[in-house]
A and B are shown apart, each in its own frame.
Chain A
Amino acid sequence: MSRISVEPRAHGGAHVHLGVPVASLAVALLVGAVILAVAGNSAFEAYRTMFDASLNGWTAFSRTLTLATPLILTGLAAAVAFRMKIYNIGGEGQLYLGAIVSSWLALALPADLPKPLMLLVFLVGGALAGAFWASLAAIPRAYLNADEIITTLMLNFIALSLMNYLIFGSMTFWRDPSRQVPGGKKIPESAQLPALSGRLHAGIIIAIVCAVVLWWVLRQTSWGFQLRTIGDSPAAARYAGMSVSLKVLSVLAISGALAGLAGAIEVSGVTKGLEPRSLATDIGFTGIIVAVIARTNPLGVVPVAVFLAAIATSGTALQGIGIQVEVVFLLQGLIFLSVTAGEFFVTNRVSLSRPASTSASGTSTPGSDTAPVVS
């Protein structure tokens, strides 16, 4: 008689931190395949189409990288906050604010500004706007302990309505009056990030640099160390003399700035103007999935963002073989769920064990130190 025993583990090795998420992804894709099969589609054909459309060959892969660019940044935005157990789920709204403010700067500044200067102002402006939008939730969180999950989320809907108003609801500075279908004015060439290959633009380099810098900061600086300490135990951190309020403010400001930067880069490299329909595509929300799968590791965020971007870009190709785009959302949800469940196997060692005693009963005794989950 054997039974499944569960015991907490303090620190798993690399095989655990890498193996469990990868296994979780596999489980999610398997469950997705079953659902597709039940719905009467060929799962194999669906996955092959998705692979061809997103990863097979440079044209497809560069399209994936283009979408991965903002996802890396919103993933980093969520990761840095989640690491301190500050749940900023307002990446979506912070991204919109970054897009609104940066596109305003590009349209308002003289178009013949030197390109490096224009881009610098443009990107910094977007990041600051994201930080500002996050601070609306950060200040009540730091000083009143107002639930940041609710406040950042409400700010998402507010920012979305604001962006819609600027383009669809009025004739503002942002809107191009000459277009029949409402859309944003095109930003000058000097505010556009240089193209690398096809639609892929230099934003991918900025995103990867941000990931490496954030990884270094979290690993090497006392700020990064304190972040994790506060996340584990705010009371202990306060006792050790750390200012928790200031840390909440700084973390959410950085988190918001990264999401705002994502918005600015998306405008500069892809939409070239304030285009709500293209910007409001859950980039901020997907960043949360990225951060959780990457277990808030900034270097992990990059490959995870590329993977989720691959799934998202292949949605339209699925339509070509008669499968609805919504499969993409289904897979994203399954992956998130599976990885969340997988977290249990990171923090606990689960093994098949035989009872140590000579009694062959195999029944569990309450209060024994190995709690049987399934016996």
Chain B
Amino acid sequence: MNDTVLVLSIASAIVAGTPILLAALGEIITERSGVMNLGVEGMMLVGGVVGFWAGVNTGSLTLALFLGGMAGVALALVHAVLAVSLRVDQTVSGLSLVIVGGGLSAFLGSSGDPSLLQSPNGLDVNPLFPQSLRDLPAVGPIVFGHDIVVYLAMLATVGAAYFLYRTPSGLSLRAVGEDPAAADAAGLNVVRIRYLATAVGGLGAGVGGAYLTLAVLGTWQNGVTAGLGWIAVALVILAGWRPGLALLGAYVFGGLRGLSFTLQLAEVDVPSDFLAMIPFVAAFIVVVAVSANPKRARRVAAPAALAQPYSREAR
């Protein structure tokens, strides 16, 4: 029964959803500090190309994820300088990250001979659990069948939730995102916290991008993320800035992404272009539906100071 359509699609949804989850968790931390970074797509691309390069050349998954994450952090810090220090419009700054990330990753990916574009395979990432567990009916492939990154992303979800709601640092972070003036008066370093939170967002997107190119897709192409970063940004809104819901949502989007594969297995004939549309239609509908529900909108509002630059002098 482990090769039934349902079991296989749930298992693949979890893998496909993991890059989205990593990026969305990072963005939740960033936005909770009051910084909106729309550049997730660009940070994933840069993390993706650097991680792919490191993985293909060294064969080390750890190193690839680390360097991919650092590339994401580097780009995120550019946003921090623009949005936090120079206080330029955060939407425009985020968009500039998308474009510079796309351009830089395309340039890096096509450099060298042979370039990454000609590099056929990613890394074979081994499953974490022994064969005996993976052979269990249903729960084998779904629960025990994955590589270590999938479980680390799950752990990171728990960690992010614990950090935000149960630690003093998490409280400080949320305070800065809700009312930076009050947080500043209470002695918190608003600029430092926002820089750190933005860097964590870059880390999530960078690692997510590296995992996507190396393990999920096993290939590098220009613009290989194909909108996944934007799905992650939408997911943050849908999840109401909460890590737990982001995990659920990421797996659902991962499942929608893999729908063509699923339907192929089930021998249902739907044009592939329409299947490619589904995650985006779903994200569109859910963003509108979330806005249409005033009760929910009150309960899970965005951080009050989201996208507002903070300046002591302008208080």
Interface on A for B, CB 8 Å cutoff? 35, 39, 87, 89, 140, 144-147, 149-151, 153-155, 157-158, 161-162, 164-165, 168-170, 285, 288-289, 292, 324-334, 336-337, 340-341, 343-344, 366-367, 369, 371, 373
Contact = CB atoms under 8 A, between A and B. Distances in A.
Contact of A165 (B91, B234, B273): B273
B185 interface: no
17 contacts: A39-B107, A146-B287, A146-B288, A154-B234, A154-B283, A158-B281, A161-B280, A165-B271, A289-B99, A329-B99, A329-B103, A330-B107, A337-B96, A340-B82, A340-B96, A344-B82, A371-B312
Given A154-B283, A330-B106, A336 B96 contact: yes
Interface residues of B, number: 51
Given A145-B291, A329-B102, A89 B95 contact: yes
Contacts, number: 145
A187 B95 CA distance: 36
Contacts of A149: 38, 91
Interface in B284-309: 284, 287-288, 290-292
Q: Which 9 A-B pairs have the closest CB atoms?
A: A333-B103, A333-B100, A329-B103, A165-B273, A146-B291, A344-B86, A326-B106, A154-B284, A144-B291
Nearest to A327: B107
A151 B99 CA distance: 19
B92 interface: yes
B104 A330 contact: yes
Nearest to A153: B230
A147 B292 CA distance: 11
B271 A147 contact: no
Given A325-B110, A340-B88, 5 more contacts: A140-B292, A154-B284, A161-B273, A164-B276, A327-B107
A333 B96 contact: yes
Given A326-B103, A329-B107, A340 B291 contact: no
A170 B106 contact: no
A285 B98 CA distance: 10
A332 B89 CA distance: 19
Given A333-B99, A333-B102, A371 B110 contact: no
B94 to A, nearest CB: 9
A269 B115 CA distance: 36
A161 B312 contact: no
B171 interface: no
B109 interface: yes
A67 to B, nearest CB: 17
Given A151-B288, A340-B96, A324 B110 contact: yes
Contacts of B109: 326
B137 interface: no
A285 to B, nearest CB: 7
Contacts of B99: 285, 288-289, 329, 332-333, 336-337
A292 B92 contact: yes
Given A158-B281, A367-B312, A336 B100 contact: yes
B281 A341 contact: no
Contacts of B233: 150
Nearest to A324: B110
Nearest to A292: B92
B246 to A, nearest CB: 15
Interface string B201-237: 0000000000000000000001000010010011001
A90 to B, nearest CB: 11
B240 to A, nearest CB: 13
A283 B63 CA distance: 37
Contacts of A341: 81-82, 86, 88
A195 B87 CA distance: 46
B118 interface: no
Interface in B247-289: 271-274, 276-277, 280-281, 283-284, 287-288
A373 B81 CA distance: 11
B180 to A, nearest CB: 15
Contacts of A326: 103, 106-107, 109-110, 222
Contacts of A344: 82, 86-88
B19 interface: no
A371 B92 CA distance: 24
B125 interface: no
B222 A343 contact: no
Contacts of B271: 165, 169-170
Nearest to A82: B92
B131 to A, nearest CB: 39
Nearest to B41: A153
B78 A150 contact: no
Most B CB within 10 A of own CB, among A150, A288, A332, A343? A150
A334 B107 contact: no
Contacts of A328: 103
Contacts of B95: 89, 288, 292, 336
B118 to A, nearest CB: 12
B60 interface: no
B262 to A, nearest CB: 18
B106 A87 contact: no
B101 interface: yes
B283 A144 contact: no
B184 to A, nearest CB: 11
